[in-house]
Amino acid sequence: MGYAEVYAAAKSDPEGFWMEQAKAIDWDEAPTKALHDANAPLYEWFKDAKVNTCYNAVDRHVENGRGDQAAIIYDSPVTDTKETITYAELQKRVSSLAGALKAKGVTKGDRVIIYMPMIPQALEAMLACARLGAIHSVVFGGFAANELAVRIDDATPKAIIAGSCGIEPGRVVQYKPLLDGAIELATHKPDFCVIYQREPEIAPLTPGRDFDWHEVQSDVAPADCVPVEGDHPAYILYTSGTTGAPKGVVRPTAGHLVALNWSMKAIYNIDPGEVFWAASDVGWVVGHSYICYGPLIAGNTTIVFEGKPVGTPDAGTFWRVIDEHKVKSFFTAPTAFRAIKRDDPEGKLIENYDISHLRALYLAGERADPDTIEWAQRVMGVPVYDHWWQTETGWSIAGNPAGIEPLPVKIGSPTVAMPGYDVQILDEAGHPMPAGELGAIAVKLPLPPGTLPTLWNAEERFKKSYLNTFPGYYETGDAGMIDEDGYLYIMARTDDVINVAGHRLSTGQMEEVIAGHPDVAECAVIGVTDALKGQLPMGFVCLNKGCDRADDMIKAEVVKRVRDTIGPVAAFKLVAVVDRLPKTRSGKILRATMVKIADNEEFKMPATIDDPAILDEIKEALVPMGYAGA
Ligand code: COA
Ligand code: AMP
């Protein structure tokens, strides 16, 4: 069957289609039914099944003769380390860590926060939780203590598993002081922490609370897999929304297993035993779905890469990893390719390597600009597939189904809707728009298996954020269009979310942090275009009347405040002090107009603007910063 037939089959008979895909999973109790719609518009998949994710990602492969196959290849140019972990070894390590967690009281349904760098132990920690039916929540290492504290208070974990440090080019990021600071800040306190000590930074442990990763595992029995219900949360992953409070996206166990397993062949064209590499971080959804779970569920070899596309040691690192580990499908964010292209514009370094076994490059996480796609196609000589999805969905909403039938690539489009997603473009009133016209991208309910059923402890927020605007649809937060051939185009966000180097950030959250500065009367944060990172956050601050402190001092404090509160990942370095912000007569800040001015794009004067002269003041502030056509 080609793509059109598969898509049509999933649409006309979702029950039959997904029950068929479910046969690839090893169930403790097989589902009798795929979709459960009694609580519509809240939907659940495979709810009456019993299953264990870790069993499907690890144990079953050992039982089926893959014990000696590499499950994980760890390649860390920043520590000059390489390690191969077979499925049999992974089973031993994960059951041992799970045994330790169990001995310390972690049981099914308990939350466990994982705060670790890109090392295999991060995956082991995730899988150990899954083995016990505990719900993990991985927090990205580039977030500050405050962000970790917010997640501790929302997830109320019984335990936290952390690395002692992460390694960024040129500096060691000490995780332990951040962890201690977060626990101090949080109202909820975990019962205990497990610390994986890494050589560059052996952290002092807090007696009675912190336990060494290895010591805690000595003298405990390995733990078996605990079957959980199909709708049991596999994990919570926090992502940015409009406000400062991150949204805890819940991933349901059974749908996650079925959808990811299906996607490895259908989208990434990978067969069991082959090597798949997603160069991202376990702190993001790409890391959850395609560094950890997807490839392991499907019996592939996954690569845990601790490094950057450039500077570790050079722009040839990606080619080396693809060559050395015989990667068949490779997935990363466009920003990584922009970084490589900037350092090695001719792509000369690739000549030192043999990447002939690579079938395709997959890009996602942010808009893939045509220049980057064309450069990658030319230098690598393989198809480049853009695909579009979100933390909320956990797998592609739109992509090129290379394992079913590779479709012609149209540059600028992540291709077509994946089976199970009825993607539509809606106008403000929720009416479908004709082909070629721009509108809000929505997905007709129900969403397919593996997508979020709700937000952690926040069902009303879930409905308000995603379901209420267009009844009967899931609102993606992206705007775009569909052409006559059914190809989708993603143009912009419809909310205050920006995308910085593939990282999803909330300008609203940054505004909340900046507004807390004692000299700031009001502020606005916008996302301006950046050649490397796609977008960068830029802040505009108006100072309190009578404030006579130097602008530069306040700017530096504002930058530090965002870095200390949200984290270095916010990449917040651009601030202007202005007298006034442009607003509508009803007081709404004209952020979209400010973006156009900063990017030096044509814009229409908003009819409701209060005082057009303020736009000139904004432009004057932008020019010295190198924006607005400077
Ligand atoms: N722990 C601690 N700090 C981290 C971190 C981590 N895991 N990841 C990033 N940071 C820090 C960086 O060191 C940097 O700090 P600095 O301001 O002191 O320089 C800051 O956060 C911003 O990081 P980043 O946006 O990644 O910028 P960069 O300049 O370090 O690197 C790229 C730019 C393009 C090379 C890098 O973003 C990259 O490799 N991107 C790949 C895309 C990707 O993985 N996207 C994830 C979603 S698929
Ligand atoms: P995240 O939840 O961090 O994966 O971010 C999801 C958001 O990133 C989407 O809603 C889009 O705004 C953006 N995004 C992801 N993939 C793409 C893509 N291929 N093209 C354009 N935007 C994308």
pLDDT computed for residue 245 by the predictor:
86
67 domain-assigned: no
pLDDT computed for residue 384 by the predictor:
98
183 domain-assigned: yes
What's the rounded Cα separation, in Å, for the pair 540 and 526? Answer: 8
Q: Which of 452, 475, 328, 477 is nearest to 394 (CA)?
A: 452
DSSP single-letter state for residue 54: H
The tens digit of pLDDT for each residue in 252-268 reads 999 999 999 999 999 99
What's the rounded Cα separation, in Å, for the pair 617 and 581? Answer: 9
153 domain-assigned: yes
Q: What values do phi and psi take at 571, rounded to 5? A: 50, 40
pTM for this model (two decimals): 0.96
What's the rounded Cα separation, in Å, for the pair 186 and 151? Answer: 9
The tens digit of pLDDT for each residue in 203-215 reads 999 999 999 999 9
Q: Which of 380, 377, 382, 363 is nearest to 316 (CA)?
A: 380
DSSP single-letter state for residue 226: P
What's the rounded Cα separation, in Å, for the pair 466 and 526? Answer: 23
Count the Cβ atoms, other than its own, within 10 Å of residue 318.
27
Q: What are residue 609's DSSP bridge partners?
A: 584
How many whole angstroms from 559 Cα to the centroid of ligand 2?
Answer: 26
**Please, what sign has the CA dihedral across residues 331, 332, 334, 336?**
negative
The tens digit of pLDDT for each residue in 294-346 reads 999 999 999 999 999 999 999 999 999 999 999 999 999 999 999 999 999 99
pLDDT computed for residue 87 by the predictor:
99
What's the rounded Cα separation, in Å, for the pair 271 and 436? Answer: 36
Which of 197, 226, 255 terminates a domain? The answer is 226
248 domain-assigned: no
* Contact criterion met (CB below 8 Å) for 500 and 537: yes
580 domain-assigned: yes
How many whole angstroms from 570 Cα to the centroid of ligand 1?
Answer: 9
Q: Which two tokens stand for residue 48?
A: 């009456």
Burial of 263 (0-12, 13-18, 19+ CB in 10 A): buried
What's the rounded Cα separation, in Å, for the pair 131 and 424? Answer: 38
184 domain-assigned: yes
Q: Give the Cα-Cα-Cα angle 371, 118, 304 (nearest 5 degrees).
A: 70
Ligand 2 atom closest to 391 (CA): 2
Amino acid at 308: K
How many whole angstroms from 534 Cα to the centroid of ligand 2?
Answer: 12
213 domain-assigned: yes
| Closest ligand to the CA of 496 | 2
The preferred substitution site among 318, 569, 574 for testing ligand 1, maximizing ligand atoms within 8 Å of CB, is 569
Give the binding-site residues of ligand 2, using a 6 Å CB cut-off.
Answer: 239, 285, 364-368, 386-388, 390-391, 414, 476-478, 490, 493, 499, 504
Calculate the alpha carbon distances from 485 to 397, 402, 478 in Å: 17, 17, 20
Beta-carbon contacts of residue 48 (< 8 Å; ≥ 6 apart): 29, 31, 32, 33, 36, 229, 230
Helix, strand, coil percent content, the chain, rounded in steps of 5: 35, 25, 40
DSSP string, 111-132: EEEEE--SSHHHHHHHHHHHHH
DSSP string, 196-216: E-BTTBPPPP-TTTEEETTGG
Which of 199, 226, 253 terminates a domain? The answer is 226
**What residue's CA is closest to ligand 1, atom 47?**
502
* Contact criterion met (CB below 8 Å) for 390 and 366: no
Q: Which two tokens stand for residue 27?
A: 């169930």
DSSP string, 419-484: TT-EEEEE-TTSPBPPTT--EEEEEESSP-TTS-SSBTT-HHHHIIIIISSSTTEEEEEEEEEE-T
Count the Cβ atoms, other than its own, within 10 Å of residue 219.
9
How many whole angstroms from 501 Cα to the centroid of ligand 1?
Answer: 7
342 domain-assigned: no
Counting every residue, how long is the chain?
Answer: 630
Domain containing 515 equals 501-625
Tell me the CATH number at 139.
3.40.50.980
Q: What are residue 301's DSSP bridge partners?
A: 275
Per the structure, how many domains does the chain have?
2
- Ranges of residues in the chain with a pLDDT under 70 are none
Tell me the CATH number at 560.
3.30.300.30
Which of 170, 192, 226 terminates a domain? The answer is 226
DSSP single-letter state for residue 455: B
Q: Is 298 in the pocket of ligand 1 (CB under 6 A)?
A: no
Amino acid at 571: A
* Contact criterion met (CB below 8 Å) for 138 and 127: no
